[in-house]
Structure 1
Amino acid sequence: MAGSRVVSEVRARDKDVKITAFGAEAWQPYNRVLLSNVVAGTSSPDQVRLLDPRWYADHGVTARLGVPVIAIDRDCQTVVAADGTREPYDVLVLATGSEPVVPPIPGVQRATAFRTLDDCERIREAATSARSAVVVGGGLLGIEAARGLAGRGVPVTLLHLAGHLMERQLDEEAGLILRETLGALGVAIRTGVTVSAIRERHVEMAGGELIDADLVVLACGVRPVVGLARDAGLEVERGVVVDDEMRTDDPSIFAIGECAQHAGRVYGLVAPGWEQASVVADLVTGADKGARYRGSRLVTRLKARSVELAAMGETQLTEDEAEIVRFSHRHTGTYRKLVIREGRLVGAILLGETSAVGTLTQLFDRGGPLPGDRTGLLFPDLAGVGGAAVADSPTRMPDSARVCQCNNVTKGQIRACWESGARNVEAVAAATRATTGCGSCRDAVEGIVGWLCEQEGVSA
C-alpha cells in the first residue's frame, strides 16, 4: 500500500520522471486493510484494489508485478530482480512492508497466515467445506478474520495468548466487553491459552486439550521485512532506520511504511505510511524540499461487521497516572473511556456505538484543551458541550475538521469536491481518496455529501 502510494504521489507531482515499481505479489496494488471483507465475502478482490489495472500504463510507470527484488547494489545504484534483470536508480524507495509471524510449532505448515490476498483466497476456498475453524491470535487481524469466518457460517474458535483481546489497544474491561460482543456473533473465544501443535483436524493446546479445526488461520502478529536492506548494509534495528526525510543512512535510499523505523517507532497502520509517502514524493520531485515527517498519532479502527471499535493513544494509563473518564454497559456491549493528562486527551476507547469518535479524534490529534464537563465528550448526542458535538453534525462541523484520518481529508475538501460536481461518495473518493483507507469514515462522508445535497435541493 505504501509503495503504490508513493508511486502515485510522485507521478502527481512530476509527469516526466522515470518510475519503475517492483512488487513481490502478482496482484495489482490492493488495500490490505479491507482483506477481512474479502474473507467475509462482503468484498471481492477487485473491490479492494487501490489502483485501476490500467493506471501504470496510463501514467507511464513500468510495473514489474510478481518480480521481487533480491539485492541492492549500492555502489552501482542498481537493484537486482529475481528474474536476473538489473534496474539502475537515482532514488530508491523501500516499501517492503511486513511479513506474518509464524510460531515454530509442530504442524504449523497446515495453517494459513492472514496477510495477503492470496492468503484470503486460500482461506475462502477452505471455508467452503470447513466444519470448524480456529484463528490463532486475538489482535486486530485475528478478530477480523474470526468475524469474517463466522459471517460465512463457519463455527470459529479464537485462541489468544494474552489475558484479553487486543491487549495493546484495549484495557481489560474493554477486552472483556469485546469478547462478549464477538461471542454473541458466533465467535467462541479462549484467552490466556497457548497452542502447542496443529494436528490433522485439531489444534492442540498446552496441556493436551484438542479443539476441532478443519481450517486454522494464523494472525500472530507481523515483523518488518528488512532482509533486503540489511544485506545491502543499511542501518536496521527493528525496522529500516530513517530520519525525518524518511532517508536511510544512504542518502539515495528512502524507506516508508511498515518496514521503516522512524524515531524508534515502527508503525503498523496505513495512515503513517501514506503520510510518509507524501513526504518522500515532495522531496524527490522537489515539490517541497522542506517536507518532513514528524511521526503520527494513531487511531485504530476494528473493521468487523456488527462490531464498532475505535482506540487511540495511551489507553492503559491508570487513575494514578491520568484523569480517567469511563462509561461501561456490558449488557449493550458499550464501553467508552477517556484518558486525560494536563487537560488534554491522550487516549480513548470507544466500543459499541461510536458517534463520538470524530470529535475525540480531532481533540486527540490537535491536543487542544477539553471542556470542563467531560460528559458531553462521551455522549455528544445528549448535548453540545463546549463544542464537543461539532464533528458529528455536518451543520456545525468546521471545514477544518478531519473526516478521513487515513488520507487527511477535511470537511472543507469534501465540500470543495461537492461544489465541483462530486455528488456521491464514489466521486468524492476519486477526488480526495477519502474512504479508501480503512473505510471507517464512509458513513461520515455519506452524511456530509447528503447534507450538502439537501441544502441545495439536488439529488445525491
Structure 2
Amino acid sequence: MSSRIVVVGGGTAGARLAERLPVTLLGEEPHAPYNRVLLADVLAGRYGPEVIALPSPRGGPVRRGTRVTAIDRAARVVRCADGTAVAYDRLVLATGSNPVLPPLRGLGGDRLPSGVYAFRTLDDCLALDARVRPGVRAVVIGGGLLGVSAARALAARGAEVMLAQQGEHLMERQLDAHASGLLRRHLVELGVEVHTECRVRGLRCEDGAVRAAELADGFVLDADVVVLACGVRPRTGLALAAGLDVRRGIVVDDRLRTSDPRIHAIGDCAEHAGRLYGLAGAALEQADVLADLLSGGTTAYRGTRALTRLSMDALELAAFGEATERPGDDTVRLTDATRSAYRKVVVRGDRLVGGVLLGDLGAVGALARAWEGDEALPHAPLLHLLTHDGGF
C-alpha cells in the first residue's frame, strides 16, 4: 500500500475510504464528514447535526475547510487555497457533485438571493433550519428524491409547502405512475401542495430577498423560502484542469483509475462504464473496492446495483432497478388501497430487473438480494416474489 494517499473530498466516498485506510483527507466543508442522506431528517428535527456524523478516519490527518485549487501531476502534489501543498503517491478524487441551479429569472451571479437554498450541504440545512418556522411559505422546485425529502421535512416543521415538479409524476426515475400517485397522496396528507407538469420560470425578489415564485402559466406563489432540488452535476473542475479524461464525470476503469494511473476517482464525481450513480450505496461500494485495491487486493469494480429507500413518517418506500416494464416483460402488482400499500416487480426472461414497494417492505430484503445477485430466478409463480420471504 502506498505510504502517501491523499483524498480530496470529505463526503460519503472520501470518509469511507479514510475509515478503511490511513490517508490524508482534505475536506472543503468546515464540518467533520457527515451522512448527507440524513440532511432532511436534520431539517425535520428528527436528528441533531451531531447524530449524522460519519465514523472517524482510521488515523490519517483530516484537514477541514481546505479547498484544493489545483493538481500538479508532474510534481505529484495538490495545491490548496491557503497556499499549502500536499504531496501524494496516490491521489483519490472524491469531489462529489454540485446542485444544478435551474435557469430561472431572478437567479444570477455568484450568490443566491436571501431565502433561496440549494439543499445539498449541512450549511444549507442549518441556514434553512434557521429560517423555517410554522406558517412560513416554502416552494420546493423539483420532485425527485431530494425534493420530496425536503418537502416532507419542511411540512414537518409546520411550513406551508408547495412542491413544483416539471415532469409527469414524482420521483419519476425510481417510481412508476401508480407508486408515484400513492406518494403524492401521502405528501398531500402531510399538508404539501403538489403540482406536477408545473414549470417555475422565475423568482421575484425585493432588496435581495425572495418574495415569490412565478409559474410558466403566469400564476404567482408567494414564498418566504425557495428550495432548489433540481438534481446534481459531478464536480469535475479539478480533473479537467489537470488534463484528466472527463465526460459527464471523471472517467474511471474497473480499478477506479482515471487516465492518470496514480489518480483515482470515486463517488458522485466518477463515471464508470458510461454511468454516473449519484447514490450513497455506489459511493460506499466504490470506496470499499478502492480500499482493497490500494491495500494490494485484486477486486475489480463492476458497477453498483443500488436500492433507493425513503422513510416518511407512516410511509416506507423502496425502489430498485427498472420500475417501468418494457414490452415482453412479466409484471406482478399487489395493491392494498386501505393501507396505501403497493408492491410491484418486473421480470425480464428469468431475471428480476426492478421493483417498487410502498407501505409494506416485508419482502424488500429478499427482492434486493435477488436483484443485486442478478441470478436466474427459481421456477415458481411470480407472485411468490412479493411474499414476505421473496419466495426463496
How far does residue 331 in structure 1 lie from its aligned partner after superposition?
Answer: 4.5
Aligned equivalent of 1:314, options 316, 319, 322: 322
The one-letter code sitting in structure 2 at the alignment partner of 1:302 is L
How far does residue 300 in structure 1 lie from its aligned partner after superposition?
Answer: 0.8
The one-letter code sitting in structure 2 at the alignment partner of 1:4 is A
SS in 1 for 2:140: strand
| 2:55 counterpart of 1:47 | no
Aligned equivalent of 2:217, options 197, 207, 213: 207
The one-letter code sitting in structure 2 at the alignment partner of 1:104 is P
Cross-structure match for 1:356:
363
Cross-structure match for 1:302:
310
What percentage of aligned pairs have identical amino acids?
A: 48
CA distance in 2, matches of 1:283, 1:357: 31
CA distance in 1, matches of 2:227, 2:87: 40
Q: Residues 361-410 of structure 1, C-alpha deviation per residue, up to 9 Å, x if partnerless?
A: 11111233145222232232xxx6743xxxxxxxxxxxxxxxxxxxxxxx
CA distance in 1, matches of 2:183, 2:59: 47
Q: Does the CA-based 8 Å contact 2:363-2:390 persist in structure 1?
A: no
CA distance in 1, matches of 2:68, 2:127: 25
Cross-structure match for 1:120:
125
The one-letter code sitting in structure 2 at the alignment partner of 1:92 is L
Cross-structure match for 2:351:
344
How far does residue 130 in structure 1 lie from its aligned partner after superposition?
Answer: 5.2
How far does residue 117 in structure 1 lie from its aligned partner after superposition?
Answer: 0.3
Cross-structure match for 2:143:
138
RMSD: 1.5
Q: Residues 6-55 of structure 1, C-alpha deviation per residue, up to 9 Å, x if partnerless?
A: 111113xxxxxxx321111010000001111011010011000003xxx4
The one-letter code sitting in structure 1 at the alignment partner of 2:346 is V
Aligned equivalent of 2:39, options 23, 35, 42: 35
| 2:70 counterpart of 1:65 | no
- TM-score, normalised with respect to structure 2: 0.91
Q: Residues 236-261 of structure 1, C-alpha deviation per residue, up to 9 Å, x if partnerless?
A: 00100000000001010000000000
Cross-structure match for 1:241:
251
The one-letter code sitting in structure 1 at the alignment partner of 2:306 is L
Unaligned runs of at least 5 residues, structure 2: 1-11, 205-209
Q: What is the correspondence of 1:402-441 to structure 2 with a 5 Å cutoff?
A: none
Cross-structure match for 1:269:
279
SS in 2 for 1:61: coil
Cross-structure match for 1:161:
166
Cross-structure match for 1:282:
292
Runs of at least 4 residues off by over 6 Å: none
Moved more, 138-147 or 199-208: 199-208
Cross-structure match for 1:418:
none
The one-letter code sitting in structure 1 at the alignment partner of 2:28 is A
Q: What is the correspondence of 1:354-393 to structure 2 with a 5 Å cutoff?
A: 354-368=361-375, 369-380=377-388, 386-387=391-392
Q: Does the CA-based 8 Å contact 2:134-2:159 persist in structure 1?
A: no
The one-letter code sitting in structure 2 at the alignment partner of 1:46 is E
Cross-structure match for 1:198:
203
Q: Does the CA-based 8 Å contact 2:318-2:356 persist in structure 1?
A: yes
Q: Does the CA-based 8 Å contact 1:67-1:83 persist in structure 2?
A: yes
Moved more, 104-113 or 168-177: 104-113
Q: Does the CA-based 8 Å contact 1:157-1:190 persist in structure 2?
A: yes
Q: Does the CA-based 8 Å contact 1:197-1:203 persist in structure 2?
A: yes
Q: Residues 191-211 of structure 1, C-alpha deviation per residue, up to 9 Å, x if partnerless?
A: 001101112322110121011
Q: Does the CA-based 8 Å contact 1:99-1:225 persist in structure 2?
A: yes
Moved more, 121-130 or 233-242: 121-130
Q: Go from structure 1 to structure 2 and tell me whether the alpha carbon gap of 1:212 and 1:379 turns closer, same or farther (over 3 Å shift).
A: farther
Aligned equivalent of 2:183, options 178, 181, 186: 178
How far does residue 170 in structure 1 lie from its aligned partner after superposition?
Answer: 1.0
| 2:236 counterpart of 1:229 | no
Cross-structure match for 2:30:
26
Q: Does the CA-based 8 Å contact 1:371-1:386 persist in structure 2?
A: no
Q: Does the CA-based 8 Å contact 2:367-2:390 persist in structure 1?
A: no
The one-letter code sitting in structure 2 at the alignment partner of 1:131 is V
Cross-structure match for 2:99:
100
Q: Go from structure 1 to structure 2 and tell me whether the alpha carbon gap of 1:68 and 1:195 turns closer, same or farther (over 3 Å shift).
A: same
CA distance in 2, matches of 1:298, 1:371: 25
Q: Go from structure 1 to structure 2 and tell me whether the alpha carbon gap of 1:374 and 1:118 turns closer, same or farther (over 3 Å shift).
A: same
The one-letter code sitting in structure 1 at the alignment partner of 2:182 is I
How far does residue 324 in structure 1 lie from its aligned partner after superposition?
Answer: 0.8
Q: Go from structure 1 to structure 2 and tell me whether the alpha carbon gap of 1:281 and 1:349 turns closer, same or farther (over 3 Å shift).
A: same
CA distance in 2, matches of 1:385, 1:158: 35
- What is the count of residue pairs matched by the alignment? 369
CA distance in 2, matches of 1:92, 1:360: 37
Q: Does the CA-based 8 Å contact 1:143-1:304 persist in structure 2?
A: no
How far does residue 221 in structure 1 lie from its aligned partner after superposition?
Answer: 0.2
How far does residue 212 in structure 1 lie from its aligned partner after superposition?
Answer: 2.3
Q: Does the CA-based 8 Å contact 2:366-2:390 persist in structure 1?
A: no
Moved more, 243-252 or 171-180: 171-180
How far does residue 327 in structure 1 lie from its aligned partner after superposition?
Answer: 2.0
CA distance in 2, matches of 1:220, 1:69: 26
Q: Does the CA-based 8 Å contact 2:155-2:161 persist in structure 1?
A: yes
How far does residue 265 in structure 1 lie from its aligned partner after superposition?
Answer: 0.6
CA distance in 2, matches of 1:370, 1:209: 54
SS in 1 for 2:62: strand
Higher relative contact order (CA 8 A, sep 6+): 2
Higher strand share: 2
Cross-structure match for 1:7:
18
How far does residue 231 in structure 1 lie from its aligned partner after superposition?
Answer: 0.5
Moved more, 324-333 or 23-32: 324-333
Q: Does the CA-based 8 Å contact 2:134-2:157 persist in structure 1?
A: no
How far does residue 311 in structure 1 lie from its aligned partner after superposition?
Answer: 0.6
Q: Does the CA-based 8 Å contact 1:235-1:241 persist in structure 2?
A: yes
CA distance in 1, matches of 2:390, 2:48: 42
How far does residue 354 in structure 1 lie from its aligned partner after superposition?
Answer: 1.3
